[in-house]
Amino acid sequence: MENGIIEITFHGRGGQTAITASQLLTQLAFSKGFKDTIAIPIIGAERRGAPIQAFTKLSQDKQIKTYDGVVYPDYIFIFDTSLLDIPSVKATIKEGVKLIVNSQKPIDTSNLAKNIKVFLVDATGICIKRKFMHSSGPILNIPMLGAFGKITGYYDLKIMEKVLKKEFGEKKLEKNMSVARDAYESVKEEV
């Protein structure tokens, strides 16, 4: 945390909806009363399956004045465990960081930084079970954010309902909330 600003990095693959997650997180935090937020996508030549990165910064009480990328995140979202094999992704995992990982089973942390906390949520499994899919696979952002709300306490399911209703409408709300709730209730710390 730099100057009271909570910094979050998102690692995903093109199509896994990580960039939308970084933007939705700003909405959730802002609805909960955070004073300022910013979502920063790293844009290049994206395509389905390519590693992509995004950042979100959240501030409880002061204006966020930086536009630069996050170097020392407080939290890191891992949408796809295969990304942990990429050296540039691994390098972003610094000592003491908390990881939110989309995985059914525990991940190997032996060659990652020390003192990290890992939270597991089977977002892919939840999406498949609830048929929460788009053209190229599961829509992972909602369950990942559900898990994040539970871990951090920054927002709860009520706030998620309000934001998701505003963003995606009444019609899709039930399905959106079903995956959010599943993740909120099932996320657990890896021990």
φ/ψ (deg, to 5) at 22 = -65, -35
- 109 belongs to the binding site for another protein (CB under 8 A): no
CB-nearer residue toward another protein: 36 or 161: 36
CA dist 17 and 69 (Å) reads: 19
CB-nearer residue toward another protein: 68 or 108: 68
Which residues in 45-64 contact another protein (CB under 8 A)?
64
CB of 37 to another protein, least distance (A): 7
Q: Which amino acid is at 180?
A: A
- 92 belongs to the binding site for another protein (CB under 8 A): no
Tokens for 86?
């990429």
Applying CB under 8 A, which of residues 41, 51, 125, 137 lies at the interface with another protein? 41
Question: What burial class does residue 87 get, using C-beta atoms within 10 Å of its C-beta: 0-12 exposed, 13-18 middle, 19+ buried?
Answer: exposed
Applying CB under 8 A, which of residues 26, 53, 124, 141 lies at the interface with another protein? 26
Tokens for 78?
């891992």
